[in-house]
Amino acid sequence: MKKTYFGTDGIRGRVGEAPITPEFALQLGWAAGKALARQGRASVVVGKDTRLSGYLLESALEAGLSAAGVSVRLLGPMPTPAIAYLTRAFHASAGIVISASHNPYYDNGIKFFGADGKKLADAVEAEIEAWLEKPLTIDAPDALGKAMRQEDARGRYIEFCKSSFPFSLSLSGLKIVVDAAHGAAYQVGPAVFGELGAEVIRLACEPDGLNINRDCGSTHPEGLQEAVLAQGADVGIAFDGDSDRVVMVDRQGALVDGDELIVIIAQARLAAGLPVQGVVGTLMSNLGMELALREMGLEFVRANVGDRYVMAELESRGWTLGGEASGHIVCLDKTTTGDAIIAALQVLAAMVSSGRALHELRGAMQKFPQKLVNVRVAKRSDPMAHAGIAQAVRAAEERMAGRGRVLLRASGTEPLIRVMVEGAEHGLVGALADELAALVETALA
């Protein structure tokens, strides 16, 4: 069913421009409340990241939900996966996250979790959109929803994360640099690792409402790499603004991306005798990941890019492990959605239990050279529908003689075309990616 407002990851845009306005947030809160209240008295938990605009959108959503008779627990700045967990913990009808994830501060978004802590079903999103087209009405004064601040939300989530780490292990003796991207995990992230025994050095843990993701976090890990080397740390951990993505840095200062982290988790689970039915990656997953998993005897399948599609593939197959190179990693045996802290804990557990450093564990996967170029375009469209671009892609694949891949796709959240080339020859990969990016820029400008 085609939807007007909801994209692959909720509703997102620039603050002050439709639909990210207080007027729309008020209407959205009311519409969501009406859709949820069909099953009786409803309650919702609402969390946000550290963007200044979060206050504005939170207040508007709260008012709309109250007008629809829905009670609200306000969680404050909390990671997206924390809202998923607390939705279930409080037996809420839904969870709402105010965040634009890895985007700059001037963007924001609103996304939903169902009562099960998973992405809201398409049918419910469609029902909310139907209510959005109706005039806002206010319930009777004695039927309005209440709102309260949930003061212990942070502690509840910290304990949940710690419960995913083996009780028999400790992080004692490890020095960890934690880069929270000045985002939602700036408090809970360092606390989790510290309470498990690690010496924690904080980086980008001082949000001011405007510095979220700015030259830090999983999308800009250069500062973390420098800090790990300068501090002589064992490992660095970088989250994005809402802490559903994680990348790591080994003690030698090398970046370890989501593909490599998933392989490490899979290998550790096999070594511990735990079941790993298979792994779900995406069209962007490195070919080296696929080969490494096959060498372990594991089936590997590619889903469309986006955590929603990874999750759908996992659930359809009954598998528990999957994710993306960007660091969105899903461990369904631990939680219901991608969780950066919990994924990092699985890698740290692998290090501790094996007695091996991160740079040693990452050796299980040999990455193929891959280059990704983001090309900004006037509007999102399918690049392969353009005859000249499609012909150029075929020519590029022929030049790699079966030892590489080319993938062009439109971003689901921004007006970008992502051009990815992967192959055995580094120089050829770079040249082809640049050539295709230049063609896309010219053809779709």
Tokens, residue 265: 């988790």
Q: What is the pLDDT of residue 181?
A: 98
Angle at 414 (CA atoms; ends 413, 415), nearest 5 degrees: 135
* Integer Cα distance of 369 and 270 in angstroms: 27
Write down the pTM of the prediction. Answer: 0.90
Domain 11-152 and domain 370-444 have a common topology? no
Q: Tell me the three-class secondary structure of 315-383, residue by residue.
A: HHHCCCEEECCCCCEEECCCCCCCCHHHHHHHHHHHHHHHCCCHHHHHHHCCCCCEEEEEEECCCCCCH
* Integer Cα distance of 353 and 192 in angstroms: 18
Mean pLDDT lowest among 149-158, 240-249, 295-304, 370-379: 370-379
- pLDDT mean over 268-292: 94
Q: To which CATH superfamily is domain 370-444 assigned? A: Alpha-D-phosphohexomutase, C-terminal domain (3.30.310.50)
Q: What is the pLDDT of residue 355?
A: 97
- Active site residue: 101, 218, 326, 411, which one? 101
* Integer Cα distance of 163 and 349 in angstroms: 12
Mean pLDDT lowest among 34-38, 251-255, 262-266: 34-38
pLDDT tier, 404 (very low <50, low <70, confident <90, very high otherwise): confident
Residue identified by tokens 């239990």 is 353
* Integer Cα distance of 155 and 280 in angstroms: 32
Q: What is the pLDDT of residue 208?
A: 98
CATH number given to 172-256: 3.40.120.10
Q: To which CATH superfamily is domain 11-152 assigned? A: Alpha-D-Glucose-1,6-Bisphosphate, subunit A, domain 3 (3.40.120.10)
Burial class (CB in 10 A: 0-12, 13-18, 19+), 207: buried
Nearest 5°: phi and psi at 396? -65, -40
* Integer Cα distance of 72 and 293 in angstroms: 44
Mean pLDDT lowest among 217-226, 243-252, 361-370: 361-370
394 Cβ neighbours under 8 A, 6+ residues apart:
none
- Return the amino acid letter for 114: G
71 part of the active site? no
The size of the chain, in residues, is: 445
Helix, strand, or coil here: 302?
strand
* Integer Cα distance of 269 and 261 in angstroms: 12
Domain locations in the chain as residue ranges: 11-152, 172-256, 257-338+360-367, 370-444
- Structural class in CATH, domain 257-338+360-367: alpha beta
